[in-house]
Structures are given as C-alpha cells and as structure tokens.
Amino acid sequence: MAKLSITGGGRCNLTNTFRNVQSLEKIYPRGFRLMKRLLHKFSQTDCMNWFEDLGVRLIEQEDQCVFPRSQDAMEVVHALERAMHEGGVHVKCGCKVSSIDPDLTVTFTQNKSCSTIKPDAVILTSGGATADLLSGTDISIEQAVPSLFTLKLEDEEIKKLMGTVVQKAVLSLQGTRFRSEGTLLITDWGVSGPATLCLSSYAARYLCENGYRGTLSINWLSANEDEAKELLDQLGKSSTRTIGNSHPQKLTERLWKHLLTRAGVRDDLRWKELGSKGYSRLINTLINDCYTIIGRARFKEEFVTCGGVSLSEINPETMECKKIPGLYLAGEVLDIDAVTGGFNLQAAWSTAWTAAHSII
C-alpha cells in the first residue's frame, strides 16, 4: 500500500486505456506474451469498472493514463482497504515472512518470536524482493535490476538547458538495438521524460551489466537524413537570415544554439554562407547527437525492477507455481515489467485477479 500511495506522483496512475498501444512488446519488455493472455481475463476496462464499482471515480488523460478523478492515490488505497475489510481479509501487521518452503510452510517473525503456518494456498506479491523468501526452493529467479530510471550525462553544456522539452525525440544506445521514441526532458543531471524511461526499461539488463555506462544517441528531430535535409533546405530559403535566428519549430532557440555549437557552426552565419562540411555536421548533430552516459538516477520516488520469478515457473492460466502446488505469484515478484504509464499496475491487477480467481 505504501508503494501504491506514491505512484503517479502521489496521484496513482492505476492503469492505461491502451488505445495508443500498437504492440504489447513495446509496453512490456519482459512478459508481453503473458500479459496478452491475462488481459483477456482481466483487462484495463475490467480494472476501471472494478475500481469504479468500489466508488473510485476515474479520469482519462490525453496520454491515455487513467487516474482517480480526485488525483489522490490515497483514495485508491482506502478503497482497497475497505474491500479487504468487507471481504473478511485479516491483515497481520508487524510480521516479517522469512521463507516459504516447498511444502507451503510459511515461516514468519512477530514480536521477535518465530512462527510457522501451513495454509491451503499462498499468493506471493512481494515485489522484487523474492530471492530470500524462496531460497529454500529450486524455483528459477532472474536477477532483479532497476528498470525505470533517468540517465546521467557527462556533458555539462546540455545540463545548462535543464527544463527544455522536446516533444518527439528518438533515443538509442550506440552499438545496440535498443531504441525509444517520445517526449524528452533535459535535466540538471542529464535526460528524463517518457523517452528516457522507455529506453531504460528496454535496456535495463544491458545497462546494469555495463555499469550504467555507454553512449546515448539523440535524434532531436525524430527524422531520417533525407527528412532532416529537407527541413534545413526549407530554413535555408531565407538565405539572408542568420542560422541562429531560424531554428526548427520543434526546437527551442537555446537548444538550437547548443546544437549549432556541437556541430561547429557559428550562429551568426547566414544560411548562404554555410558550406557543405558545416551542413553535413549540422545534419549529423540533429539526427545523431551523442553523449556519454555516466550513471543512472531514480525516477522521482518510484522504483520498478525487471527480474523475479521466471515466467517459465508458473502456469499462465492460473499463476500457480509449477513446482510448488498451492503457491501463486502475482505482480512484480514475477519477471514482468513495463514502461511508465500505468502499465505496471495493470500487470499487478491482472496477475492478482487471475491468481485469486484460480484459488476460488
């Protein structure tokens, strides 16, 4: 509940309409096949209807993210607590589960006293913290690593543009096939925004294995070389104007002058004075501007991981563990995660609904 209360910046982006989703694989880098199956059981529409039946009025944003109309995550938390109370759920506080054995025995500590119980069924929803709880089993667990984070860049000049937003940029990691597209935000440490978060999700394991070091390529125009040339040719028609005073509409004047400097082009030159070498350097800077990545930063207070119990370990129809009958898994405890936008919570709702109804 504590984690739920801070999602969506404290507003709780509890799902997404999925209207703009063309491929589940782009939304769920890990687990898209499972989610395709589960969304037929408990879809985003089912989720929205379920919460509204609990009294939570919802609102859809232009980006298709769904929030409570109150814009208060605690309304969602309280609705779930009421549903638990009305459903006869008993919550034991101050207990720390230390292990779940293959015979389904659960060991936990309360008031410094160790106890065990052996229930008919267990649903494990412990987020990314799975290894210790399942250490006594032979269940395959993928290493948990950060999945949604912003990137720290070495270049000091771009950081001076903090607050600058480019609505549609393409990001990629040099030497890899990882690529994302969307809104880019320049910060005082590097880059953020949906495009950055998507890239961090796609490349979560790669970046971790490489110590969060690499080369970030930014296509500021989200265009290919021919499209970029056409744009510059249009700008160059006003040959008497200086290059610094005629920037592409989607780029701010400050960002444009930064890119001119990167390309080694003087901003007081007139377009007719720009030679072929300067023209080529400018084109390359606009569509392949490279920066050194020197680390990662957390996305606000939220934290999503990739990794967890391997999806090969569960029955996708029931969410039951194949090796331990009676043990069900849901949410981020599984090796399933998504880009930002309400998709991670939808995975939690869909997996939990399936597990609960399988037990019933």
* Among candidate residues 295, 340, 294, 26, the one with its CA nearest the CA of residue 179: 26
Better pLDDT: 6 or 152: 152
Give residue 301's identity as a one-letter amino acid code: E
What does the alpha-carbon distance between residue 298 and residue 45 come to, in Å, rounded to a whole number? 30
**Best CA proximity match to 149, nearest among 189, 95, 106, 105:** 189
Indicate the average pLDDT of the chain.
92
pLDDT band at 301 (very low <50, low <70, confident <90, very high): very low
Reply yes or no on whether the pLDDT at 23 is more than 80: yes
* Fold of the CATH domain 2-93+120-145+303-359: FAD/NAD(P)-binding domain (3.50.50)
CA–CA distances in Å: residue 1 to residues 53, 77, 81, 343: 20, 6, 9, 17
pLDDT digits 0-9 by tens, 88-117: 999 888 888 888 888 999 999 988 889 999
At 139-164, the pLDDT tens digits run 999 988 999 999 999 999 999 999 99
- The tens digit of pLDDT for each residue in 320-360 reads 999 999 999 999 999 999 999 999 999 999 999 999 999 98
pTM recorded for the entire structure: 0.87
Does residue 302 surpass a pLDDT of 70?
Answer: no
Please write the tens of the pLDDT for every residue from 51-66. Answer: 999 999 999 999 999 9
> 31-45, 127-141, 195-209, 336-350: which range is least confident on average?
127-141
Q: Over the stretch 275-289, which tens digit does the pLDDT of each residue have?
A: 999 999 999 999 999
pLDDT at 5 over 90: no
What CA–CA distance (Å, rounded) separates 13 from 9? 8
Domain boundaries, the chain: 2-93+120-145+303-359, 149-298
